[in-house]
């Protein structure tokens, strides 16, 4: 054991020196995510301002009516829709028939058919508005949402008039809201212990999901480094001489894993910060400071999560790499492990793994990544003991896999590995 | 007649091998073998790399293993260097039977693989220091070993401060050979130490090995297909062909018994007969 620990130093010394001297690669790994991801967020936001959607409105009805002394008209409705769309940077063209705008491109078309006002002011019929979206148009969804919002407002306005009209006719005293929306919903938030929680706390749990999701990026650089550290050494013809030395295999593999994990940690943190900036910068543009919700404990648990995910990835990939018959097959295995990690980190955006059915939950518990995700969630939900337990399981699984790698390590297999 | 002469030569060697096995036990015990291989076989899938290699290397000698490409030189050396497990036969290195005593043997040997490269992002000095740290028990000893390596390599401190990626092939090989020799192991295994080098670099490497062998009295096994190199460096030579040792003796005896003018010719005569 003493020999293993004492011989860790030369391996880590050599690995870290080699990695640090590859400055170009390190810079690309560390700086690129910090630039690319916020740029992606900002540029998409910025460019969206310059992408004008086109909405075409056909007023085939062009009529009005009086209901309970109030004017109801297709023109009134359309002018409200036009105002709302223009406020959101849409180009709106209004016509009285389809032929007028034939051949004109649109993201959304709104048709107010003949008889709309008659039906709208009737007490027995429904009034229809036809909305047509252009397939593949991003702006069509925005326009649709705005139009439906205005239609809903106008619908409520007409309902109020009708209610007051009927109340007048029947001589009853009515409260319009009590008739139209008799149920009022009051929403409260509680934490896992049943104690009331604030909206800020609720937002932090969403943020925790994003932080866990950001781990999706941390596995790739470290797996690439460990592949290079073992298969690359074999390719560069530096491995065989080391294998014939008294260097214990545990020290050799552990030294490589630990030094790779340190570089992976740097890359992982950089990736995660880049992802957080991706969300933060656009939200700042809308006047919301998401950064204020990133508390010290969330940042700390994120770094722990990053490191444990890296260790787990290395521990998972190592036995497979050692047994792989060729460079290509070891790359295929690495890709498979990256994919598994990505699936776990992605599903944590939408799924609470501990609440899944046992037949699904327990197989997922076999993977260290699952425990990392749950650990982050538990810290945010104020359950540190449970979080520590999951951290312990993730570490234990990783250590067990590393021990398996040492057991499976075969000099002969590495030497005769096909490149 | 020309056909029968080599057969006669081979027959002489068979007798010599038989004599070696028939040596009385008391005499056998007096002879200390650093390496002993008996009928060692190794297969890789359908290919049989070693078909029964038998050889004995004496303590303190420079022993050459010569043969053409694919004869089994590297496999034999890898088995001795604990990297490959043999399928059949008996292997003993420095009193330890392999493969079960690999850890003990690794403490006593150093090995230079064929085409061994340096860590390109480390300097020449750091390449030496890395191996020195693996062999040495303390930091001070590691630095002493690395300094010994630098002395053996015979490169200036300016050169040693440069990254190995900037070295010529000859300079890189000098560092690789030096890092193998500096550990002062009881057995040094060098697999084609001069292969692919120009004449000047090859001569420099040979001088490094010869000086080391002369001063340190270490057992050295060298594989090569350069007969002149083997003749220059080795006390005894084993000729390996198609996974079998076909002759073992001093280079001068091999030349003499085969009526050849040099080792190359002796090898062709013996191998030519075997190819029949």
Cβ-count burial of A333 within 10 angstroms (0-12 exposed, 13-18 middle, 19+ buried)?
A: buried
The predicted structure's pLDDT at residue B2 = 37
Q: Look-up: residue for tokens 């508005």?
A: A129
Residue B40 forms beta bridges with which residues? B53
The predicted structure's pLDDT at residue A292 = 72
Cβ-count burial of A358 within 10 angstroms (0-12 exposed, 13-18 middle, 19+ buried)?
A: exposed
The predicted structure's pLDDT at residue B30 = 47
Task: Check whether A356 has a pLDDT greater than 80.
Answer: yes
Cis peptide bond N-terminal to B99, omega within 30: yes
Q: Which residues of A touch B113 (CB under 8 A)?
A: 237, 240-241, 244
Lowest mean pLDDT among A56-65, A106-115, A243-252, A287-296: A287-296
d(C-alpha B180, C-alpha B131), whole Å = 8
Task: Check whether B28 has a pLDDT greater than 90.
Answer: no
Q: Is B245 helix (H, G, I), strand (E, B) or coil?
A: strand
A238 touches chain B (CB under 8 A): yes
Task: Check whether A275 has a pLDDT greater than 80.
Answer: no
Cβ-count burial of A135 within 10 angstroms (0-12 exposed, 13-18 middle, 19+ buried)?
A: exposed
More confident residue, A279 or B195: B195
Secondary element (H or E) of residue A167: helix A138-170
The predicted structure's pLDDT at residue B16 = 54
pLDDT (mean) for A359-388: 90
Q: Which of A246, A409, A419 to mutate to test the interface with B (most CBs of B within 10 A)?
A: A246
The predicted structure's pLDDT at residue A265 = 83
CB nearest to A10's CB, from B44, B85, B133: B133
d(C-alpha A110, C-alpha A116), whole Å = 13
Residues 6+ apart with CB under 8 A from A377: A205, A208, A209, A212, A348, A352
Q: Identify the band that residue A247 occupies on the pLDDT scale cut at 50, 70 and 90.
A: very high
d(C-alpha A393, C-alpha A374), whole Å = 11
Cross-chain residue pair A245–B85, CB shorter than 8 Å: no
Residue of chain B minimizing CA distance to A233: B119
> What percent of chain A shows pLDDT beyond 90?
36
Q: Which of A9, A11, A14 to mutate to test the interface with B (most CBs of B within 10 A)?
A: A14
Size (chain A), residues = 419
DSSP string of A44-59, one letter each residue: HHHHHHT---EEEEEE
DSSP B197: -
Q: Is A313 helix (H, G, I), strand (E, B) or coil?
A: helix
The predicted structure's pLDDT at residue A214 = 78
CB nearest to A17's CB, from B82, B110, B122: B122
Q: Identify the band that residue A2 occupies on the pLDDT scale cut at 50, 70 and 90.
A: low
Measured torsion, CA atoms of residues A265, A267, A272, A275, in degrees rounded to the nearest 10: 180
Question: Which pairing describes strands A108-112 and A130-133: parallel, antiparallel, or unpaired?
Answer: antiparallel
How far is A237 from chain B, CA to nearest CA, in Å? 5
Average pLDDT over chain B reads 85
Task: Check whether B273 has a pLDDT greater than 80.
Answer: no
Two tokens at B262? 């040099």
B175 touches chain A (CB under 8 A): no
DSSP B123: B
Q: Identify the band that residue B274 occupies on the pLDDT scale cut at 50, 70 and 90.
A: low
A416 touches chain B (CB under 8 A): yes
Question: Which pairing describes strands B62-66 and B219-224: parallel, antiparallel, or unpaired?
Answer: parallel
Helices and strands counted in chain B (H then E): 12, 10
Residue in B230, B103, B125 with CA at minimum distance from that of residue B175: B125
Average pLDDT over chain A reads 86
More confident residue, B119 or A413: B119
Residue in B215, B221, B245 with CA at minimum distance from that of residue B234: B221
Sheet order of strands, A91-95 included = A91-95, A54-59, A108-112, A130-133
Two tokens at A26? 């390190």
A358 alpha-carbon distance from chain centroid:
25
Output the CA torsion sign for A316, A321, A324, A326: positive
A243 touches chain B (CB under 8 A): yes
Task: Check whether A220 has a pLDDT greater than 70.
Answer: yes
Two tokens at A138? 């991003």
d(C-alpha B230, C-alpha B108), whole Å = 24
Domains detected in chain B: 4-275 (3.40.50.300)
Task: Check whether A196 has a pLDDT greater than 50.
Answer: yes
Cross-chain residue pair B130–A10, CB shorter than 8 Å: yes
pLDDT (mean) for B78-94: 95
Task: Judge whether A207 and A276 are in contact, CB under 8 Å.
Answer: no
Angle at A224 between CA A221 and CA A230, to 5 degrees: 140
How far is A29 from chain B, CA to nearest CA, in Å? 18
More confident residue, A263 or A244: A244
A–B interface: beta-carbon pairs under 8 A: 76
B109 touches chain A (CB under 8 A): yes
The predicted structure's pLDDT at residue B276 = 44
pLDDT (mean) for A326-354: 86
pLDDT (mean) for A15-34: 85
Cross-chain residue pair A246–B107, CB shorter than 8 Å: yes
More confident residue, A25 or A283: A25
The model's pLDDT over B208-230, given as tens digits with 9 standing for 90+, comes to 888 888 888 889 999 988 888 88
Domains detected in chain A: 53-180 (3.40.1710), 198-415 (no CATH)
The predicted structure's pLDDT at residue A1 = 66
A120 alpha-carbon distance from chain centroid:
43
Question: Which pairing describes strands B62-66 and B236-241: parallel, antiparallel, or unpaired?
Answer: parallel
Task: Check whether A148 has a pLDDT greater than 80.
Answer: yes
Cross-chain residue pair A21–B121, CB shorter than 8 Å: yes
Secondary element (H or E) of residue A178: helix A176-180
Task: Check whether A225 has a pLDDT greater than 90.
Answer: no
**Inter-helix orientation angle B124-135/B169-181, to 10°:** 20
The predicted structure's pLDDT at residue B4 = 41
DSSP A274: H
pLDDT (mean) for A279-286: 70
**Through-space distance between the first and last CA atoms of chain B, rounded to whole angstroms:** 15
How far is A241 from chain B, CA to nearest CA, in Å? 6
Q: Contacts from A281-290 at CB under 8 Å and sequence distance 24+?
A: A281/A38, A281/A41, A281/A42, A282/A41, A282/A42, A282/A44, A282/A45, A285/A42, A285/A45, A290/A207
Residue B15 forms beta bridges with which residues? none
Q: Is A399 helix (H, G, I), strand (E, B) or coil?
A: helix
**Strand ranges for B25-70 from DSSP E:** 33-44, 47-58, 62-66
CB nearest to B82's CB, from A9, A21, A244: A244
The model's pLDDT over B244-270, given as tens digits with 9 standing for 90+, comes to 999 899 998 988 888 888 888 888 888
Residues 6+ apart with CB under 8 A from A103: none
Angle at B250 between CA B245 and CA B253, to 5 degrees: 100
Two tokens at A300? 């700390």
Residue in B170, B152, B151, B150 with CA at minimum distance from that of residue B161: B150
d(C-alpha A32, C-alpha A267), whole Å = 10
B133 touches chain A (CB under 8 A): yes
How far is A396 from chain B, CA to nearest CA, in Å? 28
Output the CA torsion sign for A61, A65, A67, A69: positive
Task: Judge whether A264 and A346 are in contact, CB under 8 Å.
Answer: no
Distances (CA, A) of A386 to A337, A351, A381, A389: 26, 18, 10, 5
Task: Check whether B11 has a pLDDT greater than 70.
Answer: no
Lowest mean pLDDT among A182-186, A282-286, A344-348: A282-286
B73 alpha-carbon distance from chain centroid:
9
pTM of the model: 0.77
CB nearest to A243's CB, from B83, B176, B179: B83
């Amino acid at each position: 054991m003493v020999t293993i620990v004492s011989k860790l130093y030369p391996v880590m010394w050599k690995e870290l020196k080699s990695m640090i001297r590859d400055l170009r690669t390190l810079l690309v790994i560390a700086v690129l995510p910090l630039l690319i991801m916020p740029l992606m967020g900002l540029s998409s936001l910025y460019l969206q301002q310059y992408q004008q959607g086109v909405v075409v409105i056909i007023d085939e009805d062009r009529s009005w009516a009086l209901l309970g002394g109030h004017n109801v008209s297709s023109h009134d409705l359309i002018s409200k829709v036009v105002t709302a769309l223009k406020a959101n940077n849409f180009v709106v063209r209004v016509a009285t028939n389809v032929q007028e705008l034939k051949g004109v491109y649109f993201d959304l078309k709104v048709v107010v058919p003949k008889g709309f006002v008659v039906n709208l002011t009737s007490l027995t019929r429904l009034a229809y508005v036809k909305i047509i979206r252009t397939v593949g148009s991003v702006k069509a969804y925005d326009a649709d949402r705005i139009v439906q919002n205005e239609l809903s407002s106008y619908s409520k306005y007409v309902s109020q008039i009708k209610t007051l009209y009927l109340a007048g006719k029947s001589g009853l005293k009515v409260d319009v809201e009590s008739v139209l929306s008799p149920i009022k919903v009051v929403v409260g938030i509680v934490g896992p212990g049943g104690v009331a929680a604030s909206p800020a706390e609720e937002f932090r749990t969403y943020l925790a999901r994003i932080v866990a999701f950001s781990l999706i990026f941390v596995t790739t650089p470290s797996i690439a480094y460990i592949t290079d550290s073992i298969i690359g050494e074999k390719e560069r013809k530096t491995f065989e001489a080391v294998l014939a030395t008294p260097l214990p295999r545990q020290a050799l593999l552990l030294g490589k894993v630990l030094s790779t994990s340190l570089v992976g940690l740097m890359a992982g943190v950089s990736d995660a910060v880049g992802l957080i900036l991706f969300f933060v910068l656009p939200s700042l543009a809308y006047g919301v400071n998401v950064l204020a919700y990133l508390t010290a404990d969330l940042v700390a648990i994120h770094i722990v999560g990053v490191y444990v995910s890296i260790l787990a990835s290395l521990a998972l990939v190592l036995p497979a790499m050692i047994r792989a018959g060729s460079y290509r097959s070891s790359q295929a295995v690495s890709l498979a492990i990256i994919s598994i990690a990505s699936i776990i980190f992605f599903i944590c955006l939408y799924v609470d793994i501990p609440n899944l059915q046992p037949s699904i939950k327990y197989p997922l518990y076999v993977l260290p990544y699952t425990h990392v995700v749950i650990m982050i969630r538990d810290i945010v939900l104020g359950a540190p003991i449970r979080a520590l337990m999951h951290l312990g399981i993730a570490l234990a699984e990783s250590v067990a896999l590393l021990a398996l790698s040492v057991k499976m390590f075969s000099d002969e297999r590495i030497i005769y590995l096909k490149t | 007649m020309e056909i029968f002469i080599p057969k006669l030569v081979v027959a002489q060697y068979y007798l010599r091998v038989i004599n070696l096995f028939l040596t009385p036990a008391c005499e056998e015990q007096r002879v200390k073998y650093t390496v002993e291989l008996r009928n060692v076989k190794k297969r890789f899938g359908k290919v049989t790399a070693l078909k029964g290699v038998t050889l004995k290397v004496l303590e303190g000698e420079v022993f050459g293993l010569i043969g053409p490409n694919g004869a089994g030189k590297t496999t034999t050396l890898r088995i001795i260097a604990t990297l490959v497990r043999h399928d059949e036969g008996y292997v003993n290195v420095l009193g330890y039977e392999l493969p079960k005593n690999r850890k003990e043997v690794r403490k006593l040997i150093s090995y230079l693989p064929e085409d061994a490269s340096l860590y390109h992002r480390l300097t020449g000095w750091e390449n030496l220091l890395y191996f020195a740290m693996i062999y040495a028990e303390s930091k001070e000893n590691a630095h002493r070993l690395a300094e010994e390596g630098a002395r053996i390599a015979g490169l200036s401190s300016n050169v040693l401060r440069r990254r190995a990626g900037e070295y010529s092939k000859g300079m890189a090989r000098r560092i690789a050979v030096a890092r193998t020799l500096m550990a002062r192991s009881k057995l040094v295994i060098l697999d084609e130490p001069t292969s692919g080098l120009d004449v000047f670099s090859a001569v420099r490497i040979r001088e490094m090995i010869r000086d080391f062998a002369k001063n340190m009295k270490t057992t050295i096994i060298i594989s090569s297909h350069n007969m002149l190199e083997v003749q220059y460096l080795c006390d005894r030579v084993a000729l390996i062909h198609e996974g079998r040792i076909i002759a073992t003796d001093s280079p001068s005896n091999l030349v003499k018994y085969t009526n050849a003018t040099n080792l190359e010719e002796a090898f062709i005569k013996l191998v030519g007969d075997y190819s029949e």
